Amino acid sequence: MDKKTVHDLLSKVFTAKGSSNIAFSKYWGKKDEDLILPFNSSISMTLDNKDVYTITSVLFSEVIKSDVFVLNGELQNLEDKDTKERFKIVDIMRKMAKTNKKALIVSKNSFPTAAGLASSASGVSTLVYACNIALGLKLSTKEMSIIARQGSGSSCRSIVGGIAKWNKGGSKKDGSDSYVEQIIDENYWPELMDIIAIVDPGKKKVSSRAGMKQTVETSPLYKIRPKYVEESITPQLVHAIKSRDFDTIGKLIMKESNDLHAVMLDTYPPIFYLNDISREIIYAIHELNQRKGKIIGAYTFDAGPNAHIITLQENKSKIINMLKHIDGVKDIMSVKIGSGPVLLNTQKSLITKNNILKFLK
């Protein structure tokens, strides 16, 4: 490849940075496996991309002979599940842009070891954001969320910052009514944060993709969960978030998390993500809230034993002190409410002259 070609290619690279999110009410179970349409709407807080982020550089060009995906410095096999998920997205966007250009995608995740945060949410949302610019699509956040959703369900909520609601949709056959709306932006209530207590997982966990399918198929109690989340949790959460009513938010978050892990346990065979340490944290949070006479921290658990304590800046030290006294909590990290994906300048690009020469032969 000559110098001019490389120079031309470099000028077409776009780099974005995005983050994961922590759900206040969760997505568990889909009624359409391909379009990824959930049984209930869900709400999440986008995490600040300072500590938890994906950086993704994309390059589309006719010079590229076949798609290439490099993650954390390693060339990925196009047949891998996660890589296929990424190119499902890229294909949708290429179709929209009416182009067949192949892509070089170089991505890097900065996720603290064992934090158990959804790196796919961060990865897919950042990829959609970067491709939107690189392909000149000029999509709205709503349109981007619809695309991200089809890669990895909960990733769609990371397309916007602050607190986002992923509408379940379900009236439109193509899934175009299952998109994300921002409830508040990250400046509306900047004191909101997630304190993550990292806990040893012990036994290997069931993937959430497989787990939610089993729950839908086998749990008798799941039959009423989507309606409960949709009708009792979601509208109250939206209202409480807009009103900055932490007491109500906290109670709803904890109830919803328990409800989720209840239907997991009601799955056959049962799925356990919580362990004895998770349970100790749950007890300790209830005790702390009771002692304070109001809810100052609310636990929520994804598909793993790590506790996410949603709290406000003013209570950060109280929560951390409490967590430090629990045996089995291996690490504690705090992440603020954050923005949606952003474009980075070319100096931050992961596609350099060297890796163009290395990966595009």
How many Å apart are CA 329 and CA 316, to the nearest integer? 16
Residue with tokens 């300790």: 284
Q: Output phi, psi for 24, to 5 deg.
A: -85, -30
- DSSP per-residue codes, 96-141: HTT---EEEEEEEEE--TT----HHHHHHHHHHHHHHHHTT----H
How many Å apart are CA 192 and CA 240, to the nearest integer? 13
In this chain, which stretch among 32-40, 214-222, 240-248, 310-318 interacts with a second copy, using CB under 8 A? 214-222
Amino acid at 192: L
What is the SS3 string spanning 131-196?
A: HHHHCCCCCCHHHHHHHHHHHCHHHHHHHCCCEEEECCCCCCCCCCCCCEEEEECCCCCCCEEEEE
Answer yes or no: are the C-beta atoms of 218 and 227 closer than 8 Å: no
Q: What minimum distance in Å lies between the beta carbon of 136 and a second copy?
A: 47
Number of residues that bind a second copy (CB under 8 A): 32
The helix/strand/coil state of 47 is: strand
Residue 91: its H or E element: helix 81-96
> Does position 258 bind a second copy by CB under 8 A?
yes
Q: What minimum distance in Å lies between the beta carbon of 7 and a second copy?
A: 57
Q: Tell which positions 294-333 bind a second copy, by CB under 8 A.
A: none
> Does position 286 bind a second copy by CB under 8 A?
yes
In this chain, which stretch among 12-20, 189-197, 253-261, 318-326 interacts with a second copy, using CB under 8 A? 253-261
Among 64, 97, 221, 320, binds a second copy (CB under 8 A): 221
How many Å apart are CA 361 and CA 347, to the nearest integer? 24
> Does position 210 bind a second copy by CB under 8 A?
no
> Does position 236 bind a second copy by CB under 8 A?
no
Among 81, 98, 138, 203, binds a second copy (CB under 8 A): 203
Among 172, 268, 292, 358, binds a second copy (CB under 8 A): 268
> Does position 239 bind a second copy by CB under 8 A?
no
Among 7, 72, 220, 357, binds a second copy (CB under 8 A): 220
The helix/strand/coil state of 54 is: strand
> Does position 242 bind a second copy by CB under 8 A?
no
Q: Output phi, psi for 58, to 5 deg.
A: -125, 150
> Does position 188 bind a second copy by CB under 8 A?
no
Q: What minimum distance in Å lies between the beta carbon of 218 and a second copy?
A: 8
Among 64, 96, 114, 265, binds a second copy (CB under 8 A): 265
In this chain, which stretch among 60-68, 162-170, 177-185, 265-273 interacts with a second copy, using CB under 8 A? 265-273
> Does position 272 bind a second copy by CB under 8 A?
yes
Residues that bind a second copy in the complex, under the rule CB under 8 A: 202-203, 219-221, 223-225, 228, 232, 251, 254-255, 258-259, 261-263, 265-270, 272, 275-276, 279-280, 282-283, 286
